[in-house]
Amino acid sequence: MITPTNEQSRSSIVPMAIVAMLFFILGFATWLNGSLMPYLKQILQLSPFQASLILFSFYIAVTFTALPSAWVIRKVGYKNGMALGMGVMMVAGLLFIPAAQTQVFALFLLAQLVMGAGQTLLQTAVNPYVVRLGPEESAAARVSVMGILNKGAGVIAPMVFTALILDSFKDRVGTTLTQVQIDEMAASLIYPYLGMAIFIGILAVAVKKSPLPELDKDAEDEHSGQGQIKQALAHPNLVFGIIALFVYVAVEVIAGDTIGTFALTLGVKNYGVMTSYTMLCMVLGYTLGIICIPRFISQPNALMLSAILGLILTAGIVFGDNNSYMIANTLLVPFGGAYLPDTLLMIACLGLANAIVWPAVWPLALSGMGKLTSTGSALLIMGIAGGAFGPLFWGLTSSATSLGMQGGYMVMFPCYCFILFYAVKGYKIKSWK
């Protein structure tokens, strides 16, 4: 006998499979930046600050397209919003072709900006499906699974980028490139991005014609104006939560997307796959979180331990010895792993420190919000803009300190300090009085 619950479960399998694929695509396109950044730095001979603009242009799109994306979704619906978001991402993929042909930095930044805008629209449309397609009591588990898919794509994307593009140019790391070599490296971007654009375009059509059900819009969505925003900001735990997510995304992107550029300066030939190391640590952190929270440790305590680990690793990165290989010799080389500097591996281990922050901050920030929950959620999403400013400050600090890029990582100290404050006290503050 098939119960209503079983029928609902079966009817959700295909939509959830489609949503899972979209989360993988989102992760793939996002964490491709970790390989693209050092590659463009080498081709265009960029300074650390200029290289950080590649990430800035991608993540800053969230700041000014998040609210317009919500408006678009209200007008065209969630399903059409997904297809439209992927359509914008396809256009971004095509923009990389003239950028590679002309080697004009501004065109690369434009392509990144458009890719960020398309991703924001797709994120705005796809996230509600995770919660609404299935029982409410198991929503957290579905969110965690989607998070693992997103970060898992971050493991694979740099490997694919390296296999398709970087493998032929490993011998050029640390050398001065001729114009012919630069042209050859730039041209190698064209077919992979053309292929990605075509694939995303086909997927957009498939989603448009797929059996994804249209979700009913919340009544709240229609009147979440200035009044509700003001009421939401009257909750200190939410305001501090927004800041916590802002600095968290800043350190997450620094750890995931600058590691390849730092590896390039250290002469590591496989710099293109370094983002995979950070993402592997994040997947491990997600898995530990699913197993341990709240069974063995509370969300605030997990957040506190994450911040402390982040501070310890940051100190090791900034003041560590780039010629020390103790971690690799102990944990990697005996098992056939890579021979990498300690400082580089500590950047990767930041993925473990960062993994728990996002899922821990959300429930603490939205505690007690009641009917303002969706407005609070929209404001929390704005914290993703930290991904634009974290690498920017890293680039500025890298250019301003005698330690170079290694010294640039000191910008993470205040970020983890604020996360620690939020874990210990910030989430408990319920009133400004």
Q: Residue 180: which domain range?
A: 9-211
The pLDDT tens digits of the residues spanning 362-421 come to 788 878 877 777 677 777 877 888 888 998 899 899 888 788 889 999 999 999 999 999
Same domain membership, residue 329 and residue 309: yes
15 vs 284, residue with greater confidence: 284
pLDDT at 1: 36
Residue 201 confidence class, pLDDT cut points 50, 70, 90? very high
Same domain membership, residue 242 and residue 207: no
pLDDT greater than 80 at residue 208: yes
Q: Residue 4 falls within a domain, yes or no?
A: no
**Structure token pair of residue 332:** 């990697």
Domain count, the chain: 2
Same domain membership, residue 255 and residue 321: yes
Same domain membership, residue 242 and residue 175: no
- Amino acid, single-letter form, for residue 337: G
Backbone dihedral region of 360: left (phi > 0), alpha (psi from -120 to 50 degrees) or beta?
Answer: alpha
pLDDT at 98: 94
Q: Residue 216 falls within a domain, yes or no?
A: no
Average pLDDT over residues 22-39: 84
Q: What percent of the chain has pLDDT over 70?
A: 88
The C-alpha angle with vertex 311 and arms to 153 and 321, in degrees rounded to 5, equals 85
Same domain membership, residue 207 and residue 63: yes
In the listed set 211, 242, 269, which residue is the last one of a domain according to the structure? 211
Range of weakest confidence among 119-123, 307-311, 343-347, 376-380 = 376-380
Task: Classify residue 204 by burial, with Cβ atoms within 10 Å: 0-12, 13-18, 19+.
Answer: buried
pLDDT greater than 60 at residue 173: yes
What secondary structure does DSSP assign to 23-41, as a single string? HHHHHHHHHTHHHHHHHHH
In the listed set 192, 211, 230, which residue is the last one of a domain according to the structure? 211
Same domain membership, residue 348 and residue 299: yes
Q: Residue 2 falls within a domain, yes or no?
A: no
The pLDDT tens digits of the residues spanning 135-147 come to 655 555 676 677 7
Q: Residue 1 falls within a domain, yes or no?
A: no
Same domain membership, residue 144 and residue 275: no
52 vs 92, residue with greater confidence: 92
Rounded to 10 degrees, the C-alpha dihedral 35/144/309/36 comes to: 10
pLDDT greater than 90 at residue 317: yes
pLDDT at 319: 93
Helix H segments across 293-356?
299-319, 326-327, 342-354
pLDDT at 161: 83
Using alpha carbons, list the distances in angstroms from residue 20 to 15, 16, 23, 144, 224.
Answer: 9, 6, 5, 11, 29
Q: Residue 237 falls within a domain, yes or no?
A: yes
Q: How far apart are CA 133 and CA 2, in angstroms?
A: 19
Same domain membership, residue 254 and residue 197: no
Residue 226 confidence class, pLDDT cut points 50, 70, 90? low
The pLDDT tens digits of the residues spanning 261-307 come to 899 888 888 888 888 889 889 888 888 887 887 778 888 888 899 99
173 vs 418, residue with greater confidence: 418
In the listed set 193, 211, 229, which residue is the last one of a domain according to the structure? 211
Residue 133 confidence class, pLDDT cut points 50, 70, 90? low
CATH of residue 149's domain is 1.20.1250.20
Mean model confidence pLDDT for the chain: 83
327 vs 148, residue with greater confidence: 327
Rounded to 10 degrees, the C-alpha dihedral 308/244/158/327 comes to: -10
Whole-model pTM: value is: 0.79
| Cβ proximity of 12 and 131 under 8 Å | no
